[in-house]
């Protein structure tokens, strides 16, 4: 028996053990009754340690999320809070990370304690200055091969093969193949690139660039 088919059998067995939880999630979803039961189950499975815990999370999320590809890994303490999320092949979600209504591409690596929110305007602020209690979820997508650093907060899309530095706050879409850092996250340019940019736009342009 190959290790792939052994994993498949193990996941099927775990889904049988988890069936009361999964049935509750299915009924809740069919009735359009929110995500309370789903959320409680997700919190419970997040607390199981080590490799056995990761297999239980895999079995749970494969049965409940919009998409959960094979060989994705959800670490201890990590939570996926909306079942509209989709997790790609070989994706890694680090310990204590929180994933909202997001589409996580293949080979994405998310370090510990990162948050991928459900867009920037989950709770609109009304005329009275108060945040609206009813959430409006919009999907945030993290493109294939990107790396989200420790403790980053991402509320806009990230392209493919990009890097979000540790502790950065992404408020605007990040294109493919760049590194962004800081709050708000901005593209990090190396000094050589800055010098050639200055030469290209002249002194006046360079001053504007530095502002
Ligand atoms: C983003 C990162 C990859 C950048 O690496 P790099 O390209 O080698 O960048 P450098 O170290 O040369 O730093 C370049 C500039 O960006 C700044 N910078 C780097 N990372 C930063 C971050 N996370 N937040 C804010 N500024 C940052 C540096 O201070 C430096 O600024 P300066 O030019 O004004 O001195 C790295 O700093 C990082 O954040 N890695 C994530 C680590 C992590 O999360 N590990 C968890 C385990 S998976």
DSSP E strands, 5-152? 67-68, 73-74, 79-80, 86-87, 92-93, 98-99, 102-104, 109-110, 115-116, 140-142, 147-148
The dotted CATH code for 66-211 is 2.160.10.10
**Predicted confidence band at 2 (pLDDT cuts at 50, 70, 90)?**
confident
- pTM exceeds 0.85: yes
CA 206 vs CA 27, 174, 181, 191: distances in Å: 60, 23, 21, 13
Q: Would you state the pLDDT for residue 203?
A: 46
- State yes or no: pLDDT of 124 exceeds 60: yes
How many residues are there in the chain?
211
Task: State the sign of the Cα–Cα–Cα–Cα dihedral 93, 73, 11, 89.
Answer: positive
Query: Would you say 81 and 87 are in contact if contact means Cβ atoms under 8 Å apart?
Result: no
Rg (CA), the chain: 20
Q: Where are the domains of the chain?
A: 1-64, 66-211
Distance CA 19, CA 121 (A): 35
**Known catalytic membership, residue 123:** yes
Tell me what the mean pLDDT of segment 144-159 comes to. Answer: 98
Q: Whose CA is nearest to atom 14 of ligand 1?
A: 188
Q: Would you state the pLDDT for residue 196?
A: 62
Distance CA 192, CA 183 (A): 23
Q: Is the CB of 10 under 6 A from ligand 1?
A: no
Q: Would you state the pLDDT for residue 202?
A: 42
Q: Is the CB of 188 under 6 A from ligand 1?
A: yes
Share of the chain above pLDDT 90, in %: 75
Which range among 69-83, 94-108, 192-206 shows the weakest confidence by mean pLDDT?
192-206
Residue with tokens 């998409």: 67
Q: 167 CA distance to ligand 1 centroid (A)?
A: 10
């Amino acid at each position: 028996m190959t290790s792939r088919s052994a994993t498949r059998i193990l996941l099927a067995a775990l889904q049988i053990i988890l069936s009361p939880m999964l049935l509750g999630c299915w009924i809740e979803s069919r009735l359009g009754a929110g995500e309370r039961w789903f959320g409680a189950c997700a919190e419970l499975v997040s607390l199981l340690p080590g490799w056995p815990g990761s297999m239980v999370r895999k079995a749970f999320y494969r049965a409940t999320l919009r998409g959960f590809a094979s060989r994705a890994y959800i670490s201890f303490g990590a939570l996926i809070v909306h079942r509209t999320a989709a997790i790609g092949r070989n994706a890694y979600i680090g310990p204590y990370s929180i994933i909202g209504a997001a589409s996580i591409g293949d080979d994405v690596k998310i370090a510990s304690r990162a948050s991928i929110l459900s867009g920037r305007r989950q709770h609109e602020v009304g005329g009275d200055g108060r945040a609206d209690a009813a959430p409006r979820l919009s999907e945030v997508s993290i493109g294939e091969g990107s790396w989200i650093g420790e403790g980053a907060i991402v509320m806009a899309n990230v392209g493919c093969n990009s890097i979000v530095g540790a502790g950065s706050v992404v408020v605007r879409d990040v294109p493919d193949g760049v590194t962004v850092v800081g709050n708000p996250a901005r593209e990090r340019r190396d000094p050589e690139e800055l010098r050639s940019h200055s030469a290209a736009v002249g002194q006046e342009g360079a001053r504007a660039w530095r502002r």
